[in-house]
Amino acid sequence: MKFNIKKPELPPEGNGSGVIVDVVSTKVKRKRGGVYDAFKLVIELATTKKDGRRFYVEKTYTLDGGGITRLQKALKDWRGGKEVGEAELENFDPEAEYLSKTCLAPIAIVHEDGKPTAHVGTLVPNEPALVASGDYKRQKPEVAE
């Protein structure tokens, strides 16, 4: 029996130029317990893998107490310093805010559970020069039961 075991190819560290190609509603299970509503942004980076395809990274925002505070800070940075109030979050539409927008995505390689992973820092808008490759297929939204 033979296996083709290889390390995952990770994007380079630093500010990666990217375009947000999907906004996905999801659930996040915390290590301390509890399941929270969340959304994740899928970012297609300009940098390419050895095979010529672009890297994809994800940035997830949980919608619990601390997660909402982090989202407000992220939105403030994304909007160039404009404060985000509680009333605005009541009707917040992450697709309208982020989908198809170009960004700088700070990438750091961290080890989670012994595996190297690309961690995405705070996103900031970037010049709209990057266009999505078209390789990514948007995920279907979860159906509420």
Alpha helices, DSSP H only, in the chain?
A: 65-78, 86-90, 94-98
Asked: is 14-125 a CATH 2.40.50 domain? The reply is yes
pLDDT of residue 110: 93
Alpha-carbon gap, residue 64 to 38, rounded angstroms: 8
* Cα 74–chain centre separation: 12
The Cα–Cα gap between 59 and 40 comes to 5
Of the candidates 43, 48, 40, 46, the one whose C-alpha atom is nearest the C-alpha of residue 10 is: 48
User: What is the arithmetic mean of pLDDT over 59-76?
Assistant: 91
The structure's pTM equals 0.86
User: Which tens digits make up the pLDDT trace of 116-142?
Assistant: 899 999 999 998 777 888 888 888 765
Q: Are 24 and 118 in contact (CB under 8 A)?
A: no
Q: Enumerate the domain spans of the chain.
A: 14-125
Indicate whether 113 pLDDT > 90. no
17 close to 104: Cβ distance less than 8 angstroms = yes
pLDDT in tens, 10-42: 999 999 999 999 999 999 887 778 888 999 999
Can you tell me the distance from the alpha carbon of 111 to that of 97, in angstroms, rounded to the nearest whole number? 30
Amino acid 8: pLDDT: 81
Task: Work out the mean pLDDT of the chain and round it to a whole number.
Answer: 88
